[in-house]
Structure 1
Amino acid sequence: MKRKKIVLIGAGSAVFTQGLVADFIMAENFGLWEIALVDINEQALHSITTLTNKMVKEKNADIVITSSSNRRDVLPDADVVITTIAVGGRRAWENDVIIPRKYGIYQPVGDTTMPGGISRALRMIPVMIDISKDIKELCPDAHFINYSNPMTAICQAIQKVTGVNVTGLCHGVIHVEQYLAKFINAKNSEVKSLGVGINHLTFLYDLRINGKNAWPIIDQELYRQKKMEPGSSIGKEEKILYENSYKNNQFSWSFYERYGVFPAVLDRHVTEFFPEHFPNGKYYGKVLGKEVFSLESVIAEGDKIYEEMHEQAQGRLPLDEKFFKRTEGEHEQLVEILRSIYNDERKIFSVNLPNEGAVPNLPAHAVLELPAVATGMGLIPLHINDFPDELALILRKRIHVVDLTVEAALTGKKSLLVEAMVADGAVDSKEMANSLAEELLITNKQYLPQFN
């Protein structure tokens, strides 16, 4: 049996890479694989190569691990190419979020929209286009899957410039299905949804539990919890449900009550698409990105995991066995999707693909997060005729921001960057947008040759 090759570009992303390799190790009847790791950071590449080889040896898996700091060395004959890069790393990510705070703009994530996400796109898009050109030249038949953010802008730019077929993957829809399953005390396997949107703003408009409409059950539980007071005499199990349900994602639940659909991926991401609701970051008595959904905590945790990767690689920490248990994360769908494609199983997944008429009331060119069937011909979007027009209007505004962001990243025109920020809605004026844009461009100068 011929060994298939998967190339992972951005392999220094420790959690993703370890989770992915563990999934391939634990997958049954999935064939023989070579996993080629690529990262421009030589130290990170050495550590993750050493660590994943330890994982393969620990489980005596028939997987070959190779690595290179030059992707062109390993792309020829690749069957699958995965991108998880982050140009500028966590330090640039910090700047994307912290600099806008000077202007009263607070973000809990800053990797998709608002000034932080727009700034990130400027760094990411040119590099991702270069990668896609190499794929087109060296392995044009490979399945190209991107996990890097901002997902929508990156995938749209690749399609626009190179025409290379790229699929964006994110576990957000799965995460919200699991969240809603827990909300009504159902098993994850019992709950299924249909959703349409753009990455991190996907509206689940159909929810089923064992094939039956789940919204009435959701309504009943939401009503019950809203009647409960924090001091009520309730059982331990009910108290856990109460403390970990709608109170921690109040904006998402208010959106559900207004529109009858549930947004993915909960308040940490969804709030960033509606900055007009949260002036100066004020979010139910707290400040976004600081007192709630702290960016600093996320960055610190990322730094800690990165250091642990090096420690495990060098033998100063034992191999973390948790990766060999079925873990949640961005990687979790990949084996199932590839298996469905290679075996033509025709299973349905939520993915990011060009619309091209699948959702008639949204722009054809837009990259949407929507259900698609994984077939022997690749991923084919489902045709969605009943997507609500009022939700389409919300998405059209956000797609316009993506269009402007992509053009700014491709042309290096500051005027388009300013227009993207104004259209996004987080800035108070064009003057503020101009000043903030200038500061972000100066800070990121080394990553933005198109603006120089």
Structure 2
Amino acid sequence: MSFKIAIIGAGSVGFTKKLFTDILCVPEFKDIEFALTDISEHNLQMIKAILDRIVDANKLPTKVTATTDRRKALEGARYVISCVRVGGLEAYADDIRIPLKYGIDQCVGDTICAGGILYGQRNIPVILDFCRDIREVAETNAKFLNYANPMAMNTWAAIEYGKVDTVGLCHGVQHGAEQIAEVLGAKSRQELDYVCSGINHQTWFIDLRLNGRRIGKDELIAAFEAHPVYSRQEKLRIDVLKRFGVYSTESNGHLSEYLPWYRKRPDEITRWIDMSDWIHGETGGYLRYSTETRNWFETEYPQFLEAASKPIDASKRSNEHASHILEALETNRVYRGHFNVRNNGVITNLPQDAIIESPGFVDRFGINMAAGITLPEACAATCMASINVQRMSVHAAISGDIDLLKLAVLHDPLVGAVSTPEEVWQMVDEMVVAQADWLPQYAHAVPAARERLSKSRVKTREWAGAARRNVRSIEELRAEKAALKQAG
């Protein structure tokens, strides 16, 4: 087989390498072309050198190109994969820093909440540019695979306004299933069968079976509470399981910021999170992790390049959906996964226009969703709160309506639990002014927002958050890795 895959945001070096090696685990794909594109020439050259090394080490005919000219990369592409972060870590830092001034403590801030909504405002205009280029220069009916957050908003915009065949992909379901299999004592992940459905980062394991035996709420609670690690790291997640009756896919830290109950007061935050790793609830945890990862990669690049000389091991192919979807579409080997698509009746008690994440099967005819799923009422109610925020956020990003943007933020569950309307109005003004370089649709609104800020009387505070850690130096990271290696 010979076709072209374009990867936008290919400068996300580690993730691009994973996608690349996963796809090349499919024997029929050795003759394809990968076209890498990114706004950073520096990152592009680093990842191209790594991928070229992989191709040479495995004696493959695979073609790898790299260019900052996005349209050139998209020309003739059958598949387009996006893993972009518009505004980079600079804008992301404001997504965390500014809401903290108003008492809003986020762990990740990339899905909803104040940070996720502004992230969507930056991404959506760019997503629509991608879609325009796909329609104009890619292969007819090219498929757009979006890995970038905020997943639901980006996918919503691409489908409704970009008019491109789009699917959103995430790995939260797989990670949650791995946890469940472990606590239930499964010998392999294949022993666990499940139906997981909802919206991205708020999907719910509504049917669990271990070797064909249905697993109930009480058994699952007991298994998690008995686990020596998860009982400590996933306290909030287990509490939601007890109250809702089903387990959520999302990590302790992620889940905490989509709900109005667990991060509304500093003492509550420290009660429910665990500081053994950022993902369990640390204030700005993913921002710290991302900063450290970038610094580590820049410093240790020669080691990453050397590691690329090893042969591809198909047994280590990851559970990221992209390679399995492409394999199913091109070879007709059926793949079952969980995909972000427009609802259209798949989940009976969520809106038709919402972007849902739910089970589906892929073959040469495309992605075929399992329809007629009904969520437990509490799960549906929680998803609905986020869907309403996502819908307003997408429409605000398209229209550049700053008042609608403020209403979207006001209706966010955690923001509403912490901040007053007056505080939200000022916070959004401050975020739009700070991120104006990445928000072209709000250019007309920035002068008035800046004027309002100069006259505002809403009090703010300089607050690092309830559980903030400093970014570690390269030396500290090296010492930690050495200690772990010696201990293990």
TM over 0.5: yes
2:392 is aligned to: 404
CA contact (8 A) 2:6 2:77 kept: yes
- CA 441–323 in structure 1, closer or farther in 2 if over 3 Å, else same: farther
- Residue 267 (str. 1) matches residue 268 (str. 2): no
- CA 225–151 in structure 1, closer or farther in 2 if over 3 Å, else same: closer
CA contact (8 A) 1:51 1:309 kept: no
Give how far 1:316 is off. Answer: 9.0
CA contact (8 A) 1:106 1:287 kept: no
- Residue 246 (str. 1) matches residue 247 (str. 2): no
CA contact (8 A) 2:108 2:284 kept: no
CA contact (8 A) 1:9 1:38 kept: yes
1:154-202 per-residue CA deviation (whole Å, 9 max, x = no partner) reads 1111222132121000010011000111111212121122122111111
- CA 288–213 in structure 1, closer or farther in 2 if over 3 Å, else same: closer
- CA 339–317 in structure 1, closer or farther in 2 if over 3 Å, else same: closer
**Greater Cα offset, 436-445 or 276-285:** 276-285
Give how far 1:314 is off. Answer: 5.9
1:188 is aligned to: 189
| Secondary structure of the corresponding residue to residue 208 of structure 1 | strand
In 2, the alpha carbon distance for the partners of 1:372 and 1:118 equals 28
In 1, the alpha carbon distance for the partners of 2:72 and 2:126 equals 17
CA contact (8 A) 1:197 1:368 kept: yes
- CA 152–174 in structure 1, closer or farther in 2 if over 3 Å, else same: same
CA contact (8 A) 2:76 2:137 kept: yes
In 1, the alpha carbon distance for the partners of 2:300 and 2:58 equals 16
Give how far 1:308 is off. Answer: 5.1
| Paired positions, count | 434
- Residue 283 (str. 1) matches residue 282 (str. 2): no
- CA 323–126 in structure 1, closer or farther in 2 if over 3 Å, else same: farther
Q: Structure 2 matches for 1:61-210, cutoff 5 A?
A: 61-139=60-138, 140-186=140-186, 187-210=188-211
Give how far 1:99 is off. Answer: 1.3
Q: Structure 2 matches for 1:342-421, cutoff 5 A?
A: 342-421=330-409
- CA 160–276 in structure 1, closer or farther in 2 if over 3 Å, else same: same
CA contact (8 A) 2:170 2:320 kept: no
Give how far 1:222 is off. Answer: 3.6
Q: What TM-score, normalized by structure 2, do the two folds share?
A: 0.83
Q: What TM-score, normalized by structure 1, do the two folds share?
A: 0.89
In 2, the alpha carbon distance for the partners of 1:261 and 1:197 equals 12
CA contact (8 A) 1:107 1:288 kept: no
CA contact (8 A) 1:312 1:319 kept: no
1:401-436 per-residue CA deviation (whole Å, 9 max, x = no partner) reads 001111111111111111011111314211011011
**Greater Cα offset, 311-320 or 262-271:** 311-320
| Secondary structure of the corresponding residue to residue 24 of structure 2 | helix
Query: For residue 323 of structure 2, what is the amino acid of its counterpart?
Result: V
Query: For residue 450 of structure 1, what is the amino acid of its counterpart?
Result: Q
**Greater Cα offset, 24-33 or 340-349:** 24-33
In 1, the alpha carbon distance for the partners of 2:408 and 2:304 equals 47
- CA 14–119 in structure 1, closer or farther in 2 if over 3 Å, else same: same
In 2, the alpha carbon distance for the partners of 1:80 and 1:370 equals 22
The sequence identity of aligned pairs, in percent, is 28
CA contact (8 A) 1:5 1:80 kept: yes
| Secondary structure of the corresponding residue to residue 251 of structure 1 | helix
In 2, the alpha carbon distance for the partners of 1:263 and 1:144 equals 27
| Secondary structure of the corresponding residue to residue 391 of structure 2 | helix
In 1, the alpha carbon distance for the partners of 2:148 and 2:360 equals 20
1:52 is aligned to: 51
1:118-147 per-residue CA deviation (whole Å, 9 max, x = no partner) reads 110110001001101111122232121000
- CA 246–158 in structure 1, closer or farther in 2 if over 3 Å, else same: same
1:337 is aligned to: 325
In 2, the alpha carbon distance for the partners of 1:295 and 1:277 equals 13
1:238-288 per-residue CA deviation (whole Å, 9 max, x = no partner) reads xxx41x123211221122122221111121211111033321353243679
1:319-369 per-residue CA deviation (whole Å, 9 max, x = no partner) reads 35799556687x722221211222223332101000111222211111100
CA contact (8 A) 1:340 1:374 kept: yes
Query: For residue 416 of structure 1, what is the amino acid of its counterpart?
Result: L
In 1, the alpha carbon distance for the partners of 2:333 and 2:390 equals 34
CA contact (8 A) 2:25 2:312 kept: yes
In 2, the alpha carbon distance for the partners of 1:291 and 1:177 equals 17
Give how far 1:6 is off. Answer: 0.6
Give how far 1:103 is off. Answer: 0.9
Give how far 1:210 is off. Answer: 2.1
CA contact (8 A) 2:273 2:282 kept: no
In 2, the alpha carbon distance for the partners of 1:179 and 1:258 equals 19
CA contact (8 A) 2:108 2:287 kept: no
2:451 is aligned to: none
2:290 is aligned to: 302
| Secondary structure of the corresponding residue to residue 261 of structure 2 | helix
| Secondary structure of the corresponding residue to residue 306 of structure 2 | coil
CA RMSD of aligned residues (A): 2.5
| Secondary structure of the corresponding residue to residue 276 of structure 1 | coil
Query: For residue 438 of structure 2, what is the amino acid of its counterpart?
Result: Y
Query: For residue 166 of structure 2, what is the amino acid of its counterpart?
Result: V
Give how far 1:397 is off. Answer: 1.7
